[in-house]
Amino acid sequence: MASNKQRHRPALIALVIVAAVACLAMAWWQLDRFESSSGTGQNLGYALQWPAFAAFFVYAYRKFVVLEDNPDEVAKMHAADKGIKEIPAGILPPRPSAAPAPMVEDGTTDGDQIAEYNRILAELAEADRIRLARLQAEATPSDNSQRSNQ
Protein backbone atom coordinates (compact mmCIF):
# COMPACT_ATOMS: atom_id res chain seq x y z
CA MET A 1 0.00 0.00 0.00
CA ALA A 2 3.04 2.23 -0.06
CA SER A 3 2.89 4.96 -2.65
CA ASN A 4 5.44 4.81 -5.42
CA LYS A 5 5.19 8.53 -6.07
CA GLN A 6 8.49 10.19 -5.29
CA ARG A 7 8.10 13.58 -3.63
CA HIS A 8 10.79 16.17 -4.06
CA ARG A 9 11.17 18.64 -1.25
CA PRO A 10 13.79 21.13 -2.43
CA ALA A 11 13.35 23.53 0.51
CA LEU A 12 13.64 20.72 3.06
CA ILE A 13 16.61 19.18 1.27
CA ALA A 14 18.30 22.59 1.15
CA LEU A 15 17.63 23.09 4.86
CA VAL A 16 19.21 19.72 5.72
CA ILE A 17 22.23 20.44 3.53
CA VAL A 18 22.74 23.91 4.99
CA ALA A 19 22.36 22.59 8.55
CA ALA A 20 24.79 19.71 7.98
CA VAL A 21 27.36 21.96 6.29
CA ALA A 22 27.01 24.52 9.11
CA CYS A 23 27.61 21.78 11.68
CA LEU A 24 30.68 20.54 9.81
CA ALA A 25 31.97 24.11 9.56
CA MET A 26 31.53 24.50 13.31
CA ALA A 27 33.49 21.27 13.80
CA TRP A 28 36.31 22.60 11.60
CA TRP A 29 36.33 25.89 13.52
CA GLN A 30 36.47 24.10 16.88
CA LEU A 31 39.29 21.88 15.63
CA ASP A 32 41.24 24.99 14.58
CA ARG A 33 40.58 26.50 18.01
CA PHE A 34 41.86 23.30 19.65
CA GLU A 35 45.06 23.39 17.61
CA SER A 36 45.70 27.07 18.45
CA SER A 37 47.76 28.15 21.44
CA SER A 38 44.61 28.98 23.45
CA GLY A 39 42.82 25.75 22.58
CA THR A 40 41.51 23.43 25.28
CA GLY A 41 40.13 19.94 25.50
CA GLN A 42 36.67 21.45 25.44
CA ASN A 43 37.30 22.66 21.89
CA LEU A 44 38.31 19.13 20.90
CA GLY A 45 35.11 17.79 22.45
CA TYR A 46 33.03 20.25 20.45
CA ALA A 47 35.00 19.41 17.30
CA LEU A 48 33.96 15.78 17.75
CA GLN A 49 30.39 16.66 18.71
CA TRP A 50 29.44 18.84 15.72
CA PRO A 51 29.73 16.05 13.11
CA ALA A 52 27.29 14.02 15.22
CA PHE A 53 24.82 16.89 14.95
CA ALA A 54 25.31 16.97 11.17
CA ALA A 55 24.68 13.21 10.99
CA PHE A 56 21.53 13.65 13.07
CA PHE A 57 20.12 16.20 10.60
CA VAL A 58 20.60 13.73 7.76
CA TYR A 59 19.16 10.84 9.82
CA ALA A 60 16.12 12.87 10.89
CA TYR A 61 15.38 13.91 7.32
CA ARG A 62 15.73 10.32 6.10
CA LYS A 63 13.43 9.05 8.87
CA PHE A 64 10.89 11.76 8.00
CA VAL A 65 10.87 10.72 4.34
CA VAL A 66 10.51 7.01 5.17
CA LEU A 67 7.68 7.59 7.64
CA GLU A 68 5.86 9.90 5.27
CA ASP A 69 6.07 7.57 2.27
CA ASN A 70 5.60 4.18 3.92
CA PRO A 71 2.51 3.68 6.12
CA ASP A 72 3.81 0.23 7.09
CA GLU A 73 6.73 1.84 8.90
CA VAL A 74 4.36 4.11 10.80
CA ALA A 75 2.27 1.08 11.77
CA LYS A 76 5.40 -0.68 13.04
CA MET A 77 6.27 2.31 15.19
CA HIS A 78 2.77 2.52 16.66
CA ALA A 79 2.60 -1.23 17.25
CA ALA A 80 5.54 -0.97 19.61
CA ASP A 81 3.79 1.82 21.56
CA LYS A 82 0.53 -0.07 22.19
CA GLY A 83 -0.55 -0.85 25.72
CA ILE A 84 0.06 0.73 29.05
CA LYS A 85 3.55 0.31 30.36
CA GLU A 86 3.80 -0.39 34.07
CA ILE A 87 6.77 0.47 36.16
CA PRO A 88 7.89 -2.59 38.11
CA ALA A 89 7.50 -2.41 41.86
CA GLY A 90 10.58 -1.40 43.77
CA ILE A 91 12.09 0.85 41.09
CA LEU A 92 10.63 4.15 42.24
CA PRO A 93 11.12 5.43 45.78
CA PRO A 94 8.02 5.40 48.00
CA ARG A 95 5.81 8.45 47.92
CA PRO A 96 6.26 10.76 50.87
CA SER A 97 3.48 10.72 53.43
CA ALA A 98 1.78 13.86 54.67
CA ALA A 99 3.89 15.99 56.97
CA PRO A 100 3.06 15.39 60.62
CA ALA A 101 1.05 18.08 62.38
CA PRO A 102 3.30 20.45 64.34
CA MET A 103 3.37 19.92 68.07
CA VAL A 104 2.85 22.80 70.46
CA GLU A 105 4.45 23.21 73.90
CA ASP A 106 2.01 21.00 75.78
CA GLY A 107 2.46 18.14 73.31
CA THR A 108 -0.89 18.53 71.54
CA THR A 109 -1.32 19.24 67.86
CA ASP A 110 -1.99 22.73 66.56
CA GLY A 111 -5.84 22.95 66.74
CA ASP A 112 -7.18 25.33 69.42
CA GLN A 113 -3.90 26.93 70.44
CA ILE A 114 -3.07 28.03 66.90
CA ALA A 115 -6.56 29.48 66.49
CA GLU A 116 -6.12 31.42 69.76
CA TYR A 117 -2.70 32.65 68.63
CA ASN A 118 -4.15 33.85 65.31
CA ARG A 119 -6.94 35.68 67.18
CA ILE A 120 -4.39 37.48 69.38
CA LEU A 121 -2.36 38.47 66.31
CA ALA A 122 -5.49 39.88 64.67
CA GLU A 123 -6.27 41.94 67.80
CA LEU A 124 -2.71 43.31 67.89
CA ALA A 125 -2.87 44.23 64.20
CA GLU A 126 -6.17 46.05 64.75
CA ALA A 127 -4.74 47.92 67.73
CA ASP A 128 -1.72 48.99 65.65
CA ARG A 129 -4.01 50.19 62.86
CA ILE A 130 -6.07 52.29 65.31
CA ARG A 131 -2.92 53.74 66.95
CA LEU A 132 -1.45 54.66 63.55
CA ALA A 133 -4.71 56.33 62.49
CA ARG A 134 -4.79 58.32 65.76
CA LEU A 135 -1.15 59.45 65.28
CA GLN A 136 -1.87 60.55 61.74
CA ALA A 137 -4.96 62.47 62.86
CA GLU A 138 -2.99 64.25 65.59
CA ALA A 139 -0.14 65.14 63.21
CA THR A 140 -2.38 66.64 60.52
CA PRO A 141 -3.83 69.66 62.47
CA SER A 142 -0.40 70.70 63.83
CA ASP A 143 0.99 70.73 60.31
CA ASN A 144 -1.86 73.00 59.18
CA SER A 145 -1.35 75.39 62.12
CA GLN A 146 2.37 75.65 61.36
CA ARG A 147 1.63 76.45 57.71
CA SER A 148 -0.88 79.17 58.65
CA ASN A 149 1.67 80.89 60.98
CA GLN A 150 4.22 81.24 58.20
Q: Please tell me the predicted confidence (pLDDT) of residue 73.
A: 77
pTM: 0.47
**Rounded distance, CA 125 to CA 112, Å?**
20
**pLDDT tens-digit series, residues 12-60:** 899 999 999 999 999 999 999 999 988 889 999 999 999 999 999 999 9
Sign of CA dihedral 30, 35, 37, 39: positive
In the predicted model, what is the mean pLDDT of the chain?
Answer: 82
| 94 DSSP 8-state letter | P
**Coil/strand/helix, residue 25:** helix
**Rounded distance, CA 45 to CA 33, Å?**
11
**pLDDT tens-digit series, residues 47-59:** 999 999 999 999 9
Length of the chain: 150
Burial of 51: CB neighbours in 10 Å, binned 0-12, 13-18, 19+: middle
**pLDDT tens-digit series, residues 122-135:** 999 999 999 999 99
